């Protein structure tokens, strides 16, 4: 399934293999960002306006509105927990007179605020994710290329800081593995004067770095391969000048394009 969200959030589903164009199932005018719950039953849609932030929870199959929640603060990231019980958003809380980058946890059933988790982030939190067991929430702090990025990990139950992970450069997104054993973060480096992306994978038992992918890789998703395990799946990013549309349209795989030859390689 694919979600497209540009001014209007539109849910698209694949049509039979003989057709090349997805079919629009429903749309939600005015929403600008969207994601699915892990089980695919709910869609979380968000938008920021001059009045603040708003998120909507909708049935993924029909678009039926389940819950609408508004906030005077604008959202910089949002996710729904794997058990669909909690919505986590990131925002800048200035109620004290100082800007505090905050993870706010809402109860999905009624939109009540469960708690505000204050972080030590010095730049906007750009991504947030909740572990599969619902115990941990992680958010990415981009900071600067000179300082390096950070990932803030807190307990959902009480907001306690578990750890603050550091990366070599700015951090763009974070995702827990389905079994909760790993946390992956997109990291953007500057190599030879150009942006380059890598994925840093941390082990959640001791927060050590398990691996860092090669330059040019972007984290797409985690895919479970068996009960209690998870496999990181990443795709090489095609060069910007690449004209090989077949590679660009291909599903996540080991295909990429070479601009000089416009040939696909595997």
In 3D space, the residue among 101, 114, 162 whose CA is nearest the CA of residue 137 turns out to be 162
Give the residue, 16 or 100, on which the prediction is more confident. Answer: 100
183 close to 174: Cβ distance less than 8 angstroms: yes
> Domain extents for the chain?
73-240
Average pLDDT, the chain: 78
* pLDDT score recorded for residue 173: 85
- Average the pLDDT over 206-223 and give the result: 66
Does 250 score more than 50 pLDDT?
A: no
Neighbours of 201 (CB within 10 A): 20
- Average the pLDDT over 105-125 and give the result: 95
> Could you say which DSSP state residue 249 is in?
H
pLDDT grade, residue 258 (50/70/90)? very low
24 close to 7: Cβ distance less than 8 angstroms: no
What is the rounded distance in angstroms from the CA atom of residue 112 to the CA atom of residue 138? 20
- Specify the range with the lowest mean pLDDT, choosing from 75-79, 122-126, 167-171, 247-251: 247-251
- Average the pLDDT over 127-136 and give the result: 96
Residues belonging to the chain: 266
Cβ-Cβ contacts under 8 Å for 38 (sequence gap 6 or more) = 82, 132, 178
Three-point CA angle 38, 208, 172, nearest 5°? 50
- Average the pLDDT over 18-45 and give the result: 88
181 close to 175: Cβ distance less than 8 angstroms: no
* pLDDT score recorded for residue 166: 85
In 3D space, the residue among 229, 220, 227, 226 whose CA is nearest the CA of residue 197 turns out to be 220
- For residue 195 the two structure tokens come to 């942006």
pLDDT grade, residue 227 (50/70/90)? very low
* pLDDT score recorded for residue 108: 97
Does 261 score more than 70 pLDDT?
A: no
What is the rounded distance in angstroms from the CA atom of residue 40 to the CA atom of residue 263? 35
88 close to 104: Cβ distance less than 8 angstroms: yes
In 3D space, the residue among 73, 90, 40, 80 whose CA is nearest the CA of residue 56 turns out to be 80
- Average the pLDDT over 180-202 and give the result: 79
What are 61-105's pLDDT values in tens digits?
999 999 999 999 999 999 999 999 999 999 999 988 889 999 999
The second-level CATH assignment, the architecture, of 73-240 is 7 Propeller (2.130)
Does 233 score more than 70 pLDDT?
A: no
Dihedral sign for Cα 260, 261, 263, 264, please: negative
Ramachandran sector of residue 84 (left: φ over 0; alpha: ψ -120 to 50; beta: rest):
left
Does 131 score more than 50 pLDDT?
A: yes
What is the rounded distance in angstroms from the CA atom of residue 26 to the CA atom of residue 34? 13
């Amino acid at each position: 399934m694919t979600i497209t969200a540009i001014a209007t959030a539109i849910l698209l589903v694949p049509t039979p293999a003989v057709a090349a164009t997805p079919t629009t199932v429903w749309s939600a005018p005015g929403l600008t960002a969207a994601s699915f719950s892990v089980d695919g039953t709910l869609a979380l849609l968000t938008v920021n306006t001059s009045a603040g932030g708003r998120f909507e929870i909708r049935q993924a199959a029909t678009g039926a509105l389940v819950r609408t929640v508004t906030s005077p603060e604008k959202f910089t990231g949002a996710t729904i927990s794997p058990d669909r019980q909690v919505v986590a958003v990131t925002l800048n809380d200035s109620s004290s007179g100082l800007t505090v980058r905050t993870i706010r946890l809402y109860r999905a059933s009624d939109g009540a605020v469960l708690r505000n988790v204050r972080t030590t982030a010095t730049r906007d939190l750009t991504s947030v994710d909740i572990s599969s067991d619902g115990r941990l929430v992680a958010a990415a702090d981009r900071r600067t290329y000179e300082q390096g990025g950070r990932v803030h990990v807190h307990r959902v139950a009480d907001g306690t800081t578990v750890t603050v992970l550091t990366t070599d450069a700015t951090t763009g997104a974070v995702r827990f593995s389905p079994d909760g054993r790993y946390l992956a973060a997109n990291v953007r480096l500057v190599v030879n004067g150009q942006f380059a992306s890598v994925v840093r994978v941390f082990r959640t038992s001791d927060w050590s770095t398990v691996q860092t992918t090669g330059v040019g890789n972007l984290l797409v998703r985690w895919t479970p391969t068996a009960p209690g395990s998870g496999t990181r799946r990443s795709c090489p990013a095609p060069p910007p000048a690449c004209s090989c549309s077949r590679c660009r349209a291909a599903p996540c795989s080991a295909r990429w394009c070479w601009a000089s030859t416009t040939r696909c390689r595997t």
